Amino acid sequence: MCKPCSLSFTNFHVSSFFSVYPDRCNISLAAVGDTQKHSDRIAFWDDVYGFKMRCMKKAVIPEAVVEMLKPETVISEPAVVKTIDCGSVTVSELEFTVDFSLKITASTFCTVSRSNF
C-alpha cells in the first residue's frame, strides 16, 4: 500500500504537471484450486518429519504469497471489486469493503483466492 505522504506528493505534484499511466487500476479477485500447493504449504504441517505441527497452520494461512499461478488452477471468472483512478486516489478511497461473488468454472476444491491489479 502507498504511504499517505506518497499519495499527497502524487496528488499535488503529478496532477499539476504530469499524467499517471496507467491512469486507472482494477483490483480483481478469483478462486484458485491448486491442491498440490495446498499440500506443500498447509497440509505439510500435519506431519513434519514425524512431528505434528498443526498449530503452525494458523500462522501460515493468513500470510500473503506473491507468485505466478498456472492458468489451469484458476477455477473462477475474475470479479472486479474496485476501480481506482491512479491520478486522484486518496488514502480513504483505499480503505474499503465490498461484497462480491465469483462464478466457479471448474469442479474442484477452492484452496486460495487470487487478487491482482
pLDDT digits (tens, 9 = 90+) for 8-25: 555 555 555 667 777 899
Tally Cβ neighbours within 10 Å of residue 10.
Answer: 17
Backbone angles phi, psi at 45, to 5 degrees: -75, -10
Nearest Cα neighbor of 39 from 109, 115, 93 is 109
Could you give the CA distance from residue 98 to residue 103 in angstroms, rounded to a whole number?
Answer: 16
Q: Do 11 and 94 touch, CB atoms closer than 8 A?
A: no
pLDDT digits (tens, 9 = 90+) for 59-76: 888 888 888 889 999 999
Strand partners, 30: 114
